[in-house]
Amino acid sequence: MSLFEQTWAWLTDPLQWSGYSSIPTRLGEHIFYTLLTVAIASAIALPIGAYVGHTGRGRVVVVAIAGALRAVPTLGLLVLFVLLSGIGLMPPIWALVILTVPPILAGTYSGIAAVDPVVVDAARAQGMREFQILFGVELPNAAPVIFGGIRAAVLQVIATATVVAYTSLGGLGRYIFDGLALSDYPQMLGGSVLVAALAVVADLVLGVLLRRLGPHSVSKRELPAPEVLKEGMP
């Protein structure tokens, strides 16, 4: 039996589809880690990014920290957290959070900073308060870039959550490391294919969501285009 057939047999074995370490369970764990990490990281990065983007204060520090964090190897950070704070759900999750903050922070900050200053000044001239400008003008305009950052973050966490299985947690990476320990190549390959499929599907889903949630649909629905523009449009 070829490796492909063995892997296919592994993937379609009824044993893999029910019980404690079944594919649905591992997939659920993987998605749970991803959502938990992205939620915590967003809670940290969105307010900071919004503050820095709106005021322009602390820009250099944020860019420097985000850049430095990018260079930190995931595996090293993960292993360090597990050794220092023990086995459990949270140590690896915190390591993941540290790696997930930079892309969300960068997206939020650069998205807001890139909003046309003329638009922001116009809002201010209309008498909007700073908070109203942030929530009513800057965040909606920056939404595509912010969601882009979150999309990159989600993909990164899906990839990194695979490595988490090396320490103590579950998730799809479990198959890779269990397979490695047992020299069970079909299991490793099956796990890898599942992780790759999850990442590709997640990217597609987020891409579709991004297009749906984008501010263009909102502005088209709620704000009629100026008369001059309408005439010029085909």
Partner 1 sequence: MEWAAANAGRILSLAGQHLVLAIVPLLLGLVISLPLAQLVRRHPAWRTALLTLSSVLYTVPSLALFIILPVVLGTRILDPVNVIVALTVYAVALLMRSALDSLDSVDGELSLAARALGHTAVSRYFQVDLPLSLPVLIAGLRAISVSNISLVSVAALVGMPNLGILFTEGLQRDFVTEIVVGLVAILVLALIMDLLLVVLGRVLSPWARFASGAAPRKPVTPARRAVRG
Separation between Cα atoms, residue 87 and residue 104, nearest integer Å: 27
Which H or E run contains 199?
Answer: helix 185-213
Question: Using the rule CB under 8 A, is 148 a contact of partner 1?
Answer: yes
The distance of closest approach from Cβ of residue 192 to partner 1 in the complex, given in angstroms and rounded to an integer, is 4
The interface mask with partner 1, positions 199-218, x = CB under 8 A, is: xx--x---------------
Question: Using the rule CB under 8 A, is 177 a contact of partner 1?
Answer: yes
In the bound state with partner 1, the residue whose beta carbon lies nearer, of 74 and 132, is 74
> Looking at 31-39, 53-61, 171-179, 223-231, which segment touches partner 1 (CB under 8 A)?
171-179
Task: Say if residues 27 and 194 touch (Cβ distance below 8 Å).
Answer: yes
Separation between Cα atoms, residue 131 and residue 113, nearest integer Å: 15
> Looking at 54-62, 123-131, 174-182, 224-232, which segment touches partner 1 (CB under 8 A)?
174-182
Site residues for partner 1, 75-114, by CB under 8 A, read 75-77, 79-80, 82-84, 99, 102-103, 110
Spatial neighbors of 59 by CB under 8 A, at least 6 apart, are 52, 109, 113
Separation between Cα atoms, residue 139 and residue 53, nearest integer Å: 10
For every residue of 6-39, which 3-state class applies, written as one string? HHHHHHHCHHHHCCCCCHHHHHHHHHHHHHHHHH
Site residues for partner 1, 22-81, by CB under 8 A, read 68, 70-77, 79-80
Task: Say if residues 81 and 124 touch (Cβ distance below 8 Å).
Answer: no
Separation between Cα atoms, residue 194 and residue 29, nearest integer Å: 13
The distance of closest approach from Cβ of residue 58 to partner 1 in the complex, given in angstroms and rounded to an integer, is 20
> Looking at 52-60, 130-138, 189-197, 220-228, which segment touches partner 1 (CB under 8 A)?
189-197
Interface with partner 1 (CB under 8 A): 3-4, 68, 70-77, 79-80, 82-84, 99, 102-103, 110, 148, 152-153, 155-156, 158-163, 166-167, 173, 176-177, 180, 185, 188-189, 191-193, 195-196, 199-200, 203
